[in-house]
Amino acid sequence: MPAPKRERETGREGIEKRAAQDLAARQQQANAPQRLWWLALDIGVRSDPRALFEWLDQVGAKECGESVAAFKLDSDEASLAKRLSGLVSDGIRLYLIGRHDGAGGQFGRLSGGRKRPPWEGFATDKGDIEDEED
């Protein structure tokens, strides 16, 4: 009489089956479509960015200009925002930008408030510009 299925899966067959399932799950995860994300950082003088930098290094983020990182990750915006928010201390402002299924960008401030932009006040008043087409 054959042994019940549970007993057979605890032996060598069970170990091989679980190993095959684990391998299939890892391959599926590796082949999952990854989205491209950009993270703009504004790190304050008294802040501690080490946890954020460690995470960026772990995901293989690339430098894309001053205080901007780009990385590919299979994550939705809400999960990624929650993860990033847990990595930052006070004094770090984060802006996450990502494409959503090729349908344009998603923009969102994750932490920190807005401050006065450095370009404020540089624009000339259009009323002062004279037209030279006479």
> Of how many residues is the chain composed?
134
Report pTM.
0.60
Res. 87: pLDDT tops 70: yes
Is residue 97 a part of any domain in this protein? yes
Encode pLDDT of 30-69 as tens digits: 565 788 889 998 888 888 888 889 999 999 999 988 889 9
Is residue 40 a part of any domain in this protein? yes
Is residue 104 a part of any domain in this protein? yes
CB 132 within 8 A of CB 69: no
Is residue 119 a part of any domain in this protein? no
For residues 111 and 113, give the distance between their C-alpha atoms in angstroms, rounded to a whole number: 7
